[in-house]
Amino acid sequence: MKKISCLLLINFFAIISIFAQTENPTGKQQSTAASEQGPNADCKCGKWSSITVRESPIVYQCGGTVEWKCKKPFSFSANYQCVPTNPRCQAKTNWTIKKDGILIKSGTSGSNISDAFTPTENGNYTITLNAVCGSSKCEPCIMNMVVRDCDDAICDCSNDMYVMAKMGGQNLKIRCGETKDYKEGSTVVLVPENICSTPKCTGQWNMKVYNAQTGALVSSGSGAGNSSSLSLLLSLVAGYRIELTTSCGNKKCTCTFYIRTRYPS
């Protein structure tokens, strides 16, 4: 009877062993719930570091606003640390740079961010840093930049270009298309004025003086702004046709005016 009981027990444990091998044929330990969720299942959002800028001694914080110079490079770097701090829990980051809401640059990286750009226009710039820890999208870091000192003037020719004719102590304005009378034998100094549409643009000019009757070139000169001039001795009875060609930025314009000479009374 005892032999029969022992055989029954041996058979019972053998069946259990076969069943266990069927459920886990490799014989390896079953994976835990955490490992089934992936290596970053326990990776949570942490915090942003401060923002350092190579061109500035100031350390900036998220949410701040900085006044920046036009055409001055802005090289920034930051770091995002997930929780816990271990090699399996590293942030994935991306960032955008916008001017007045329009995207001008973007990028992606690991936990360390580093980028640079140079503002060339006045406006409000927004730098947004984003981070993901595991499957968690974290709070972004936003930094605002204001640029006010760019010269946004568009150079163009003035609609009221003229030449200031100086003789002795008298100044006479000659506009495009006009004709002025001067005594023969006198000397007049011609100074181009109001060449460009804005004072911030220094216009280049070239002046050619022709015999009004024959068209022969009599004299010429060039300069910039109203700091230079052309001196003309009025010795021709026929008078003069004067062509003023100006350059403001990429714009070129031509103004023609006339001087008539008369005998001294």
Residue 257 is assigned to a structural domain of this protein: yes
Same domain, 108 and 181: no
- Between 64 and 251, residue with greater pLDDT: 64
CA neighbor of 109 nearest in space, from 130, 138, 137: 130
CA dist., res. 245 & res. 257, Å (int): 12
Name residues whose C-beta falls within 8 Å of residue 94's C-beta, 6 or more positions apart in sequence: 106, 107, 108, 109, 130
- Residue 168 reports pLDDT greater than 90: no
- Residue 256 reports pLDDT greater than 70: yes
Same domain, 208 and 118: no
| Tally of structural domains, the chain | 2
Boundary residue ending a domain (102, 121, 147) = 147
Residue 14 is assigned to a structural domain of this protein: no
Least confident of 25-34, 48-57, 235-244: 25-34
Burial 21-39 (b: 16+ CB within 10 A, else e): eeeeeeeeeeeeeeeeeee
Same domain, 109 and 174: no
Residues 234-238 have a mean pLDDT of: 91
> Chain-wide mean pLDDT for the chain?
84
Tokens of residue 47, six digits: 């915090």
CA neighbor of 9 nearest in space, from 21, 25, 17: 17
Residues 44-73 have a mean pLDDT of: 93
Same domain, 49 and 105: yes
201: left (phi over 0), alpha (psi -120 to 50) or beta: beta
Residue 109 is assigned to a structural domain of this protein: yes
Q: Which domain holds residue 239?
A: 162-262
Same domain, 185 and 251: yes
Boundary residue ending a domain (122, 147, 172) = 147
Same domain, 48 and 99: yes
Same domain, 128 and 173: no
Amino acid 265: pLDDT: 62
The model's pTM: 0.48
Residues 133-145 have a mean pLDDT of: 96
Split at pLDDT 50, 70, 90, the class of 41 is low
Residue 33 is assigned to a structural domain of this protein: no
CATH of the domain at 102: 2.60.40.10
Split at pLDDT 50, 70, 90, the class of 153 is low
Same domain, 143 and 203: no
CATH of the domain at 169: 2.70.50.30
Amino acid 152: pLDDT: 58
pLDDT, tens only, 169-206: 889 999 999 999 999 999 999 999 988 887 777 788 99
| CB count in 10 Å sphere of residue 50 | 14
Residue 143 is assigned to a structural domain of this protein: yes
Residue 5 is assigned to a structural domain of this protein: no
Residue 36 is assigned to a structural domain of this protein: no
Residue 240 is assigned to a structural domain of this protein: yes
- Residue 28 reports pLDDT greater than 70: no
pLDDT, tens only, 81-135: 999 999 899 999 999 999 999 899 999 999 999 999 999 888 999 999 999 999 9
- Residue 5 reports pLDDT greater than 80: no
CA neighbor of 236 nearest in space, from 252, 206, 265, 216: 216
Amino acid 157: pLDDT: 85
Amino acid 217: pLDDT: 96
Boundary residue ending a domain (90, 122, 147) = 147
- The CA–CA distances, whole Å, from 154 to 115, 196, 226, 247 equal 30, 10, 19, 13
CA neighbor of 143 nearest in space, from 92, 74, 83, 82: 74
Split at pLDDT 50, 70, 90, the class of 248 is confident
CA dist., res. 134 & res. 82, Å (int): 9
CA neighbor of 204 nearest in space, from 225, 218, 234: 225
- Name the E strands within the chain: 44-48, 51-53, 59-60, 65-68, 74-83, 92-99, 102-109, 112-117, 123-133, 136-137, 141-147, 162-167, 170-175, 179-183, 187-193, 204-211, 217-224, 230-233, 240-248, 251-262
Asked whether the CA dihedral 182, 185, 186, 189 is positive or negative, the reply is positive
